[in-house]
Chain A
Amino acid sequence: MVASHFLRDRVAIAGIGYTEFSKDSGVSTLTLAARAVLAALDDAGLSPDQLDGLGTFRVGDSEIPHVVAQALGMRDLLWNLDLFGGGSASHALVGQAALAVAAGVADYVVCYRALNARSGFRMGGTGRPPVDVTETQYQAPYGYFAPSQQFAMAARAHMSRYGTTHEQLGTVAVQQRAFAVDNARARMREPITLDDYFASRWVVEPFRLLDCCLETDGAVALLLTTPERARDLRRTPVWISGAAWGAGQTLYSNQQPDPTRTAAANLAPRLYAMAGVAPGDIDFAEIYDCFSYSVLVQLEDYGFCAKGEAGPFVASGATARGGELPVNTHGGFLSEGYVHGLNHVSEAVLQLRGEAGARQVPGAEIALSTAQPGYVSGATSALVLRRGA
């Protein structure tokens, strides 16, 4: 239990920046990063000269903060972070930056993620060797090295144990596409049905193509500052009410042999306590959806339904447009594009500012945004965000 919630609402997200999302950006990750950082500053109405902190996360596939700082002509960098990690680190980056802002280390910090995840370094491993970590030797020789395989393995266990169905996996994809129809940034905007889902080819059984995220070239940036400064800027501020980190099992933790429970189950209680909310207070959620199943297991582990009940919960329409808990209102990785988790945070900010256009969630006041739940890394992270004033 967190003894004191010193960080609650102490830091604002005051600007967001995007590049175009595509299959081939045609530019370097440095260019993508610079475009997104400048766009976030412009969104807030700040001059690039006021930027004094930069952070990113990456897996050897993008430019580090110092290189981006040089490109932006930053004379001094009061805070920086180059966090090694995949999607599980996405929200940890924002939490770390919030700690720096709350501590007064820097005034205007931008978190960015820039990647050519389709035209360059593909997470699925296509065309490149497996990531060289100790565990690789126990998996790669068996032809097992892509995240889709690791999540499919967990999904099958969930389906077997709780009766989760292919229809329920497909419903995640169908519901998210319905949001993307009204998102000009989304790479996939044609409505789909369960028939389309079942007609899509196998990638790794039990996953079909429409269970899998869209490897994407693009960048997203978030500007963090104090509430006092944020109130002087151009946009409605969004408060970071909770930021938490969590660890859980991988295949190599032993002692935690249940593949249907993720690190999110460890993290959720302290995240909610820090933010002073309960799952029922959350108006909408942006849930890390590298694969459809990732949404289901996190709906359970973040407490929106009982363990094993996420399939029926989604099938009830609860997570669809107009449902009690709209999920992935941008279309998620499955339809908007895979920008590794920061596009979940930026979408939550857009919704809380009331700027999401036709896909706006009415009365959006409190949001949950989550990172990769830890199947690959053993770690996760998440944020609770609140509309400011």
Chain B
Amino acid sequence: MSHRSPRPSPDRDSEPYWQALRESELRLQRCSGCGALRWPPRALCNRCRSFDAHWERLSGRGRLVSWVRTHQVFAPAYRDEVPYRTVQVALLEQDDILVIGGWQGGDDPVVGQHVEARFTVLPAAAEDEESFVLLDWAPHLGVAGEQD
């Protein structure tokens, strides 16, 4: 998709996440209390309630949990984009973290397949806008035997 709308609206918790994507990295907080990764970005861990964490670069790999193909135009910006595919991915490092993203593969996604991140630049549409990078996904092109 060439045009995405609305643009992300980072908040005080999520700004480092969006900044990492601008640097073509998937970074999440790892809890200093229990070691769990946090999703979405937020100040406290929902397992151990620690407020301490550090940002960690992840592999950008995961497994495809589900996907949909949208035909209905739900917002005017998507009038020329339909039909488009959206995927739900469980991250390799912690498979209870499920993220939504666009699909950059040629073939349709397959539930269970190994996928990897694609960092899609969303250019600034006006002078007073920032560019953004969105987290999309594509089939993982691993070498033989590396799949698991």
Do A143 and B78 form a contact, CB below 8 Å, given A149-B68, A157-B65? Answer: yes
Residues of B with C-beta under 8 A to A256: 96
The contact sample of 10 A-B pairs, CB cut-off 8 A, is: A134-B40, A138-B40, A143-B75, A144-B100, A145-B74, A202-B71, A204-B69, A204-B72, A254-B39, A257-B98
Beyond A143-B84, A144-B70, list 16 extra A-B contacts (CB 8 Å).
A125-B74, A126-B74, A138-B40, A142-B4, A142-B100, A143-B75, A148-B72, A149-B86, A161-B111, A204-B71, A205-B68, A205-B69, A205-B70, A254-B96, A255-B96, A259-B65
In the complex, whether A201 has a CB less than 8 A from a CB of chain B is yes
In the complex, whether A199 has a CB less than 8 A from a CB of chain B is no
Q: Identify which of residues 29-77 in chain B touch chain A, using a CB-to-CB cut-off of 8 Å.
A: 39-40, 46-47, 65-76
Residues of B with C-beta under 8 A to A129: 6, 75
B9 touches A259 (CB 8 A): no
A1 and B3 alpha carbons, distance in the complex (Å):
51
A70 and B24 alpha carbons, distance in the complex (Å):
56
Most buried by A among B67, B70, B86: B70
Residue of B at shortest CB range from A206? B68
B111 touches A142 (CB 8 A): no
B residues near A, CB below 8 A? 1, 4-11, 13-14, 39-40, 46-47, 65-76, 78, 81, 83-84, 86, 88, 90, 94-102, 111-112, 122, 132, 134
Residues of B with C-beta under 8 A to A206: 68
B6 touches A157 (CB 8 A): no
A149 and B75 alpha carbons, distance in the complex (Å):
13
A125 and B97 alpha carbons, distance in the complex (Å):
26
A134 touches B11 (CB 8 A): yes
Residue of A at shortest CB range from B7? A141
B134 touches A257 (CB 8 A): no
Most buried by B among A145, A205, A253, A259: A205
Residues of A with C-beta under 8 A to B111: 156-157, 160-161
A137 and B86 alpha carbons, distance in the complex (Å):
15
In the complex, whether A193 has a CB less than 8 A from a CB of chain B is no
B66 touches A157 (CB 8 A): yes
B47 touches A143 (CB 8 A): no
A142 touches B86 (CB 8 A): yes
Question: Can you list, as one digit per residue, whether each of A284-312 has a CB less than 8 Å from chain B (1) or not (0)?
Answer: 00000000000000000000000000000
B9 touches A257 (CB 8 A): no
A153 touches B67 (CB 8 A): yes
Q: What's the minimum C-beta distance from A131 to chain B, rounded to whole angstroms?
A: 12
Residues of B with C-beta under 8 A to A156: 66-68, 111
Residues of A with C-beta under 8 A to B4: 141-143
Q: What's the minimum C-beta distance from A286 to chain B, rounded to whole angstroms?
A: 27
B90 touches A257 (CB 8 A): yes
Q: What's the minimum C-beta distance from A130 to chain B, rounded to whole angstroms?
A: 7
A202 touches B69 (CB 8 A): yes
